[in-house]
Structure 1
Amino acid sequence: MKRPPKNRFSVLLIGLICVFGCSNTKYLEEGEKLYTGATVKMVDTKDSEIQGEIEEVIVPVPNKKAFGLFRAKLWIYNVVGEPKKKKGIRYNLRTKIGEPPVLLKDLNAERTVSLIENRLYNNGYFFPKVKYNVNVKEKKKRANVTYSIDPGKQYKINSITYPKPVDEISATINNAQKESILKVGAAYNLENLKNERSRLNNYVKDRGFFYFNEEFLLWEVDSTLSGKVDLFLTLKKNIDKKNLEVYKIHQVYINPQYDLTKEDNFKDYDTLQIDSTYYLEKDSTFRPTIIVDESAFEKGNLYSRKLHDRTIRKYTGLGPFKFVNVKFQEDPSDYHLLNTYINLTPLPKKSIRLEVSATSKSNNFVGPGFEASFKNRNLLKGAELLTLNLNSGFETQITKNAKGLNSYELGAELELSIPRFLVPFNMISSSTRYTPKTRYKFNYRLLNRVQYYQMNSFGASFGYRWRETETKSHEYNPININFLKLSDTKTAFDSILDANPLIRKNFEEQFIIGSTYSYTFDSRLEKEKRHNFYFQGNLDLSGNLAQLVTASIKGDAPSNENSYKLFGATFSQYVRTDINFKYLFNIDENNQIVTRLIAGVGVPIGNSSTLPYIKQFFIGGSNSIRAFQARTLGPGTYSLSEEEQVNSLFLDQSGDIKLEGNLEYRYDIISFLKGALFVDAGNVWLLKEDPNKPGGKFETNQFINEIAVGTGAGLRIDATFFVLRFDLAFPLRKPSLPEGDRWTFDSIQLGEKSWRQDNFVFNIAIGYPF
């Protein structure tokens, strides 16, 4: 068979670039030039660190390029032409998707030079030299500009002088300099001066200066020294005396039934005094002490911005309140005293949500689903949240090998979340900024694989969830119980279990009794940053206490033939841990690179020879390696034959070890439509050799050669409140193939017959994959 030229894709790509590039300039008027951007040249390469900041201020911004190659939006704008009406498809294509040309006449190089010089000055380069040269290509009707920059010497901080402590406000500011973010010897930077002023403002406000404002603080800069600056912090002249005085909290009032449509007068209702706080008691909706305890304000204390913010966070995290508002009024007897009014607007106490869905999975299962949810946000009048979830679903698999394989699922979960720690000792200081939760959960799940088996699962847990800081949170469940019971097995399934003792162990009746802990760090919760990180680490311990107690009673060690039992059922014993790390790099507001690494291992010990089925690792599917169907990859080089896929259809391919990496480039196409290019890689492995799964054991000198790789492209419809995702992926490397033939580049060359439809996996999902 004649093979197509290997550079056919390159020829096609060059052709597309020529079509988009040449056709865009033919729409220009006589004398117009398409502006294609600016180049920044630094006189000295050691000054390149400031180049990124310089490029941020350069205007205008040229027309965007798709994939950095061609200006597709401009091409759409030109091809569609001027619409006759301000509505319809043509109008929307031109105005919503298209982009008008950026022309040379839009360039104001002198103004841009001023912006560059200002940015350099703000970074300590006080005597920069900036030149520009406009490059015009008459035949191509294009133009660009080059900025040549010699920033000169960067000035360093020689000294920092704060106000002398002559009064209360200046003494407070002077005390704050110990924690200053400005350092002698560091480069002068205007942004750092602004940040220091903001820090001082917060410092002062936390010490009772209620009416103080950061605009009252001024920086004076003396740059007469060669290469050095002296900084002087001063107070603005003629500030109203009231703005420089200390204020204390006087009476505190809490209204837990505040109506936004009217102004309540506390005098119109009965109030209950708890310590120094007055609670407006319209009815008995809440237990007053629960609500009062969340306030950080106490009579006689200095006003503090920290306590102000903490109070708002605590009431917001409590759960039953839709809006939280804190107002202050000067007391008529003394304007240095602030009466504090905490107004809480509650959510509806009870709510019901119903949801009907249709599911299409990458393993060819389709079917409807139904979910109902009931919430009571104040069950015991202490802001306790009771949630009852009921769900059901039916799936049938439609493939050329197996049709009519049905599965249905019924589930129920009851959760009670109490907004405080219920412990006999003080786990965390009550002054924490966030509201901790104590949670009780109970669940039941019935899974019926109609042609194979029925499995019942019962679960219960007790634990805590709390946030340490804005970015750090914890979840600890000292009690976590599951009970699995397999029933109503069919002959076909029994034959599978008889042929594989390890699979039988996975599905045997068993208790899972242990503890779990999870730690999460998420910098995305902070203000917008260029680099963001996410980390979650989980630890799951099961059966250790039960094994210790049982061993002390029985005296003999457990074995595969004689496992310890609890209430007549074997209990699982294992250690399982996994991590999930993400790095997000925001190239600009329209482009983002996201990476993810997942690693996990589960080790059966003592009373168990295998991990329970629900604790094993799986890979593949719409949120994993998208070029492989869900739970059909691995372990190792193992792969089901077509006959096994039919006979063992409901036995997902799983492992004791998991390693997965993902790389995705996300870009905006239009406001609500976004695109993505991605590469996924990974696999799962077994810790012990299984003769029924040859090639599945993890070997330190082999696992790299057993990594599966897939790639593809996707579209996302981002409607803010939900994201509908479409991903088309195909495998680049299949570990199940013989060594040396695992890379599958040849099967995806353009024009190859081997580039078949079944090489592709199409995923439809809600939300981003990671």
Structure 2
Amino acid sequence: MKQLTRPTIFFLACLVCAGCSSTKNLKPGQFLYTGADININPDSGKRIADQKQVKADLESKTRPRPNKSILGIKYKLGIYNLAGEPTKPKGFRNWLRRQGEPPVLLSEVKLRYNNDVLKSYLISQGYLQAEVTGDTVTHGKKGKAIYTANTGDRYKINKVTFPPDTGVLTKVINENKDKTLLKVGNFYDLDVYKNERIRIDNDLKEKGYFYFSPDYLILQVDSTIGNNLANVTVKVKDIAPDAGLKPYTIKEVNIFPNYSLRRDSVLRNLKPLEYNDFKIYDNRNTFKPGLFDRLVFFKRNEAYNRKDHNKSLNRMVNIGAFQDVRMEFLPVDSFKNNQLDLNIFLTPLKKNSLSFSVVGTSKSNNFVGSELKVTQTTRNLFRGAEQLDVSVSGGFETQVKGTSQGKNSLSLTGEAKLTFPRFIVPFFKANSTNSFIPKTIATLSYQMINRGSEYTLNASKAEFGYNFKENLYKEHNLNPISINYVSTGFPSKRVEDSLFAVNPLLRSTLENQFIIGSNYNFTYTNQMEDSRRNNTYFFGGIETAGNVWGLFTSKNNEGKRTILNTPLTQFIRAEADLRDYYKITRSLIWANRLNVGYGYAYGNSTSLPFVRQFFAGGSNDIRAFAARTLGPGTYRVPEDAVFADQGGDIKLMLNSELRFKLVSILYGALFVDAGNIWLRKEDVGNPATGDPGRPGSEFKFKNALKELAVGTGVGLRVDASIFVVRLDVAFPVRKPYLPIGQRWVFDDVNFGDKDWRRDNLIFNIGIGYPF
């Protein structure tokens, strides 16, 4: 931090050399193209609205694009020149040359083409009298293009006229003209006109006009009325075909649930099973007929509409039972009447499949290792597109960092998950009519963790709940029944007593317990919309345990409610995670996250059970602190602690990260993390048993911001779309466990000091982005 490192100096030197060598290989008469300048109305000096943005848009549409640069240095061209002309078909020089790019020459600029493109764009934005002229200038071995745009005044819409109501089609258009995107007083905009044609087409598709197309509409613009105004007339083209001008109804719905091209002729000649409005062609009875009531929304003799078309297609694709889905609409009697036959061809996935996976694990408690997992999937279990997944996995882990470094862990996990593609609600029939299949999920799992000579943990879980998407953006998960039983075994009473004597915190962590309750999660995201400048993700969850069951259980001698002589855990836990991704440019994203959590324990419990507590520190959290070692509050884990994991009832975390593309699939990041965890009530310990407690662990609103830990760092990411491998290095700049006034530690930062690096630099390797 106090001096430039050798790699930094070398990198800067390479950039300088790259800048100096950008024109050295040009031949006589060649000029390096440096880009385009746009001058808007230079003679009149009149500024147009949003001139800066219009100028940027015009510049982005010129071709070719100049060589890529950073801070004005054409680094890719420098790499290309540095590699030189290869002498062999393979080798390092060939590889290096491919990482660069050849010089973009001024001779490649086509002025007339660019003039037309820029003029067309200005006209599309309402500058109907625009003119553009271009020229080139050179200086030394470099040259650029200069375009002069005389825009004239921007036209506004004066009046919008829709076609007269002369039939059913024009009646539909006029019924919805109040939804028009063409507003009197708005500027002329070609994109709005195109979207208006699509809007009208959508309205007609909902009324049965299957063969209509936006191309059958024309929007005539009259700009001769003066005062920079234009009248817009919406018309149906005279050359539109008859098939596009009439509505269609569905005559037959034919479903082929077990279709293959090889059996096509056999299936078509079968006698169909008539079920409600469907004819089902399947002599193997692959699926129960009732399944298609939930998948296909078309009915016999009803008018075609796009909404039912999209919902049916989405449901059949997303149910997870078919490898291929095809819907075919065929006119009856070759367009002579207004009826369509709908043929639905469905090719099922294989009934059974077996998958193996070997994965590397990296957990938040610093355990790393490997796991082998085998999963058996059985589809269409009860002929209703149900899916049963049975998996068995086993793994070995070792703790590579922290106070328990060198400890090993063996794990064995079994899970069975049965998914029904519908709501199953006792005494109530629940239906969903949107594009997404609701799911009922029942899960049973068991996990055994063996920590060598210390203890063995057994966790059993049973859960029953629902998953359903309200729309493309909103998803709900409700588990009204969730039962967890955790039991711990020790090699001997002596081992148990010695373990708790060294660390009393382990007693509450490893005690046997029942967690019986319900949980609900809600997720909102629009991250799938790449065209958005700003994307948002929100997760909110609430969990309750022991509320209802506590009313039906009796108390033991210690006053605790128990089930099978095991204490019943009672608490309410809520968590929210809000993320924002702002695209500064295409390759520069500013990502931010706010994560808060609160837990309230009561009755049997004085704090949240360890498996439901909040933790701070680690590769997806506050990266400048080792996993689960931060907090609670101003408490600091002793260096000789056997069990370093620190949990809390309250959590506050803020992350900010600037992500940028370096080259190809390699990305970089600069980040700042802040946060901490606290207990609702301070852990005062028990001096009689030697438990010192955790002083400073209690949450106090007035002190919360003063007790935040802050860390910063840099990261590298290999983003290959299907997977992301991440390496982050971080260091703390604020340590909450230090005395007030000494918590900011900027002055202590010294990358050249070996002891400082050992005590402060934290390396995190992860899969996927941290948030």
| Aligned residue runs from structure 1 range 366-515, under 5 A | 366-398=368-400, 404-424=406-426, 429-488=431-490, 494-495=497-498, 497=500, 504-515=507-518
CA deviation string 1:93-129 (max 9, x = no partner) = 322x212223333344554444333323222233457
CA deviation string 1:48-96 (max 9, x = no partner) = 4544533432433332235x5643322221111222344444323322x
- Residue 82 of structure 1 pairs with residue 79 of structure 2: no
Deviation at 1:736, TM superposition (A): 3.2
- Residue 60 of structure 1 pairs with residue 64 of structure 2: yes
Q: 2: CA distance between counterparts of 1:146 and 1:686?
A: 65
Q: 2: CA distance between counterparts of 1:669 and 1:58?
A: 25
Which one-letter code corresponds to 2:183 in the other structure?
K
* Counterpart in the other structure of 1:707: 708
* Counterpart in the other structure of 2:231: 230
* Counterpart in the other structure of 1:23: 21
Deviation at 1:267, TM superposition (A): 3.9
* Counterpart in the other structure of 1:657: 650
Q: 1: CA distance between counterparts of 2:339 and 2:589?
A: 50
Aligned-pair RMSD on alpha carbons? 3.1
Which one-letter code corresponds to 2:216 in the other structure?
F
When residues 728 and 64 of structure 1 are mapped into structure 2, their CA distance, relative to the original with a 3 A threshold, is farther
Contact 1:53 1:119 in 2 (8 A): no
Deviation at 1:374, TM superposition (A): 1.1
Q: 1: CA distance between counterparts of 2:431 and 2:401?
A: 58
Q: 2: CA distance between counterparts of 1:39 and 1:295?
A: 56
| Aligned residue runs from structure 1 range 280-359, under 5 A | 280-332=281-333, 335-359=337-361
- Residue 716 of structure 1 pairs with residue 717 of structure 2: yes
When residues 53 and 495 of structure 1 are mapped into structure 2, their CA distance, relative to the original with a 3 A threshold, is farther
* Counterpart in the other structure of 2:162: 162
Q: 2: CA distance between counterparts of 1:196 and 1:462?
A: 47
Structure 2 residues not aligned, in runs of 5+: 41-45, 685-692
Which one-letter code corresponds to 2:466 in the other structure?
Y
CA deviation string 1:404-460 (max 9, x = no partner) = 411111111111100011124767654221110011111111122224322211111
3-state secondary structure, aligned to 2:197: helix
Alignment match of 1:679 (pick from 653, 672, 675)? 672
When residues 120 and 681 of structure 1 are mapped into structure 2, their CA distance, relative to the original with a 3 A threshold, is farther
Q: Point out the more displaced range, 153-162 or 388-397.
A: 153-162
Q: 2: CA distance between counterparts of 1:136 and 1:687?
A: 71
* Counterpart in the other structure of 1:606: 603
CA deviation string 1:653-672 (max 9, x = no partner) = 22212222223333334443
Q: 2: CA distance between counterparts of 1:194 and 1:594?
A: 34
Deviation at 1:283, TM superposition (A): 0.6
Q: Point out the more displaced range, 673-682 or 457-466.
A: 673-682
Contact 2:364 2:628 in 1 (8 A): no
TM-score (ref. length: structure 1): 0.90
CA deviation string 1:319-360 (max 9, x = no partner) = 210111000222249642211110001111111111123445
Contact 1:17 1:69 in 2 (8 A): no
- Residue 632 of structure 1 pairs with residue 625 of structure 2: no
Contact 1:405 1:451 in 2 (8 A): no
Q: 2: CA distance between counterparts of 1:80 and 1:6?
A: 27
Alignment match of 1:567 (pick from 564, 581, 605)? 564
3-state secondary structure, aligned to 1:172: helix
Deviation at 1:631, TM superposition (A): 1.7
When residues 285 and 723 of structure 1 are mapped into structure 2, their CA distance, relative to the original with a 3 A threshold, is same
Which one-letter code corresponds to 1:237 in the other structure?
D
3-state secondary structure, aligned to 2:487: strand
3-state secondary structure, aligned to 1:456: strand
CA deviation string 1:343-380 (max 9, x = no partner) = 00111111111112344568654432111111111111
CA deviation string 1:283-325 (max 9, x = no partner) = 1322222235421111100111221111111111222101110
- Residue 35 of structure 1 pairs with residue 29 of structure 2: no
When residues 45 and 195 of structure 1 are mapped into structure 2, their CA distance, relative to the original with a 3 A threshold, is closer
Q: 2: CA distance between counterparts of 1:501 and 1:765?
A: 32
Which one-letter code corresponds to 2:58 in the other structure?
I
* Counterpart in the other structure of 2:43: none
Q: Point out the more displaced range, 285-294 or 652-661.
A: 285-294
3-state secondary structure, aligned to 1:24: coil
Q: 2: CA distance between counterparts of 1:699 and 1:611?
A: 18
* Counterpart in the other structure of 2:214: 214
When residues 226 and 427 of structure 1 are mapped into structure 2, their CA distance, relative to the original with a 3 A threshold, is farther
3-state secondary structure, aligned to 2:407: strand
* Counterpart in the other structure of 1:121: 123
* Counterpart in the other structure of 1:621: 618
When residues 696 and 86 of structure 1 are mapped into structure 2, their CA distance, relative to the original with a 3 A threshold, is farther
Structure 1 residues not aligned, in runs of 5+: none
* Counterpart in the other structure of 1:584: 581
Deviation at 1:532, TM superposition (A): 1.6
When residues 457 and 361 of structure 1 are mapped into structure 2, their CA distance, relative to the original with a 3 A threshold, is closer
- Residue 93 of structure 1 pairs with residue 90 of structure 2: no
Alignment match of 1:688 (pick from 681, 685, 688)? 681
Deviation at 1:709, TM superposition (A): 2.8
* Counterpart in the other structure of 2:264: 263
Deviation at 1:177, TM superposition (A): 1.2
Contact 2:126 2:187 in 1 (8 A): yes
Contact 1:8 1:750 in 2 (8 A): no
3-state secondary structure, aligned to 1:201: helix
Deviation at 1:681, TM superposition (A): 2.6
Contact 1:260 1:345 in 2 (8 A): no
Q: 2: CA distance between counterparts of 1:659 and 1:143?
A: 55
Deviation at 1:597, TM superposition (A): 2.1
3-state secondary structure, aligned to 1:701: helix
Deviation at 1:755, TM superposition (A): 5.0
Alignment match of 1:666 (pick from 659, 684, 693)? 659
Q: 1: CA distance between counterparts of 2:277 and 2:172?
A: 28
Q: Point out the more displaced range, 473-482 or 623-632.
A: 623-632
Deviation at 1:522, TM superposition (A): 1.4
When residues 607 and 116 of structure 1 are mapped into structure 2, their CA distance, relative to the original with a 3 A threshold, is farther
Deviation at 1:589, TM superposition (A): 4.1
Q: Point out the more displaced range, 324-333 or 383-392.
A: 324-333
Contact 1:748 1:754 in 2 (8 A): no
TM-score (ref. length: structure 2): 0.90
| Aligned residue runs from structure 1 range 513-528, under 5 A | 513-526=516-529, 528=531
Q: 2: CA distance between counterparts of 1:399 and 1:515?
A: 35
Structure 1 vs Structure 2: percent identity of aligned residues? 39
When residues 258 and 662 of structure 1 are mapped into structure 2, their CA distance, relative to the original with a 3 A threshold, is same
Aligned length: 754
Q: Point out the more displaced range, 675-684 or 12-21.
A: 12-21
Contact 1:218 1:233 in 2 (8 A): yes
Q: 2: CA distance between counterparts of 1:750 and 1:226?
A: 68
Q: 2: CA distance between counterparts of 1:262 and 1:286?
A: 17
Which one-letter code corresponds to 1:214 in the other structure?
P
Contact 1:44 1:150 in 2 (8 A): no
Which one-letter code corresponds to 1:600 in the other structure?
G
